[in-house]
Amino acid sequence: MYRFIKPVFFQLDPEKAHYFVTRRLNWFNTHFPFGKTILRSSFGVNIKGLEREVFGIKFSNPVGLAAGFDKNGEYIEALSNLGFGFIEVGTVTPLPQPGNDKPRMFRLVDDNAIINRMGFNNKGVDTLAERLRLLKSKDSKIVIGGNIGKNKNTPNEEAVNDYIKCFDRLFDVVDYFVVNVSSPNTPGLRSLQEKGPLKDILNALQARNLVNGVSRPILLKIAPDLTNEQLDDIVEIVQETKIAGVIATNTTIDRNGLYSPAQVVKEAGGLSGKPLTQKSTAVIRYLADKSGRSFPIIGVGGIHSPEDAKEKLAAGASLIQLYTGFIYEGPGLVKRICKALV
């Protein structure tokens, strides 16, 4: 059915289409008679043999939704009924911020890709924390990750304070954390991937992690554009700081090999979708081989089919996440992947 309604959605501005679909999905899940039942029966995944435990958390299946789709945690229940084994919210910052000027999202239909320069637009960590608190009081079965970042106006030398604020505020309402220092859409953010600043942030968060005798898994989300030497540093940092693992990868700034019109390709921002498939898989494989698979990796980037998912897992990923593939292929992709994995 999605192939028939997708052309209608793709006539809309990408950002407007996103909110048009998610708000109606939420209404259908919440207010339509038997809406939840219909979503679960149509898209939900109730397949034995997919359960797995990764960094101490039990997942009903290994297919998650990547950060960025539901920054403010507004659609978690509806999205979980589409079969996702876990939902990652954010990226969230301490203070609300509008993000970059519009338009800031562009489809590259010829490449099955998207360019975005959203700029961490979100309602702030307090709003997200309160929404998650209400959700957890109703349903604690949904595995939720909290993707945290810094405000645009926070200098890099003070960035650690922003990460700590988000960490402390979300600690009781998420199951794991993701440190985002790899978005290309906040000026200077990617420089925090350098060895010194990154260790400072991760060590500070690990210190907070043990204050109350209870800890949450902390993962690091990295760019697909790192050199092998930088990836070697990532392996060393993960092992040294003893964080739980890595998410590979964020969007790319590389524009090589695209088929879409030049006026779209030249738009600033991070590229996601099919052009990222092999690039992100190569990063996963390198990290897994270099580390001797000593820490879990969540694979994300260009997963548009069950074959793409299998490739990520074979390369060394323990879990996978969808975003752009979910938009291009529709909600049935989750179930198709899960069936193929059994």
Catalytic residues: 183
Distance CA 119, CA 147 (A): 14
Q: Which residues of 158-167 are buried (b: 16+ CB within 10 A; e: fewer)?
A: ebbebbbbbb
Neighbours of 11 (CB within 10 A): 8
Contact 209, 216 (CB under 8 A): yes
Residues in contact with 329: Cβ distance below 8 Å, sequence separation at least 6, in sequence order: 2, 304, 305
Residues in contact with 340: Cβ distance below 8 Å, sequence separation at least 6, in sequence order: 306, 307, 309, 310
Distance CA 107, CA 63 (A): 24
Q: How far is CA 50 from the centre of its chain?
A: 20
Distance CA 145, CA 197 (A): 23
Distance CA 280, CA 267 (A): 21
Distance CA 318, CA 9 (A): 33
Instruction: Give the CA distances from residue 77 to residues 26, 70, 74, 123, 275, in Å, rounded to whole numbers and listed in that order.
Output: 8, 11, 8, 19, 30
